[in-house]
Amino acid sequence: MFSMSPIGTVRSAYADTADIPKGLGAAHEAEGVLELLPEFEPGLADIEGFSHLYVLWVFDRVSGYDLTAMPPSDNRPHGVFATRSPRRPNPIGLTVVRLLRRDGCRLHVHGIDMLDGTPILDIKPYLSSIPDDELRRGWLAEAEARARGS
């Protein structure tokens, strides 16, 4: 067993999951703040050099899990590990945000898709060496094609 403690909290305009854009074409354009606890401020040294960040967080308002999920972007069930469903065996969320600026322990970001008060587990710089032509989008690409009528 292991345990984790939050390093901070998300500040966003989203009070309810229904407010967060979901499904095909959902754009995460909201700005918010990743507010770290003061003791973690030294860990933010040099973060301003990165344009985007991975944010690992907890689905803290979900209980239980399902091994299949019906995502809003498809009318077919999929394995939970092939979706972004919050009802997971370990309720961990992952979001990529654009870093706008740092103000002490506060990171102002664009692309928030988390509820206000969500616990943050970790922040890492976004790095990818995978060429676009090698990326595959699995069932999501098929659902997008069906939605376009292709």
Write the pLDDT tens digit of every residue in 98-132: 999 999 999 999 999 999 999 999 999 998 887 88
pLDDT, one tens digit per residue, over 30-81 is 999 999 999 999 999 999 999 999 999 999 999 999 999 998 888 899 999 9
Q: Is 93 exposed, middle or buried (0-12, 13-18, 19+ CB in 10 A)?
A: buried
The count of other CB atoms within 10 Å of the CB of residue 4 is 11
Kindly calculate the radius of gyration of the chain based on its CA atoms and give it in whole angstroms.
17
Kind plus residue range of the DSSP H or E element containing 139: helix 138-148
Instruction: Specify the pLDDT at position 129.
Output: 80
pLDDT, one tens digit per residue, over 129-141 is 878 888 787 887 8
pLDDT at 147 over 90: no
Instruction: Specify the pLDDT at position 25.
Output: 76
Q: How many Å from the N-terminal Cα to the C-terminal Cα in the chain?
A: 47
Rounded-to-10 torsion of CA 44, 36, 118, 58: 50
Could you tell me which residue, 89 or 23, shows the higher pLDDT? 89
| Helix count and strand count (H, E) for the chain | 1, 8
Q: What domains appear along the chain, each with residue ranges and CATH number?
A: 8-127+136-148 (2.40.30.70)
* Rounded (to 5) percent helix, strand, coil in the chain: 20, 30, 50
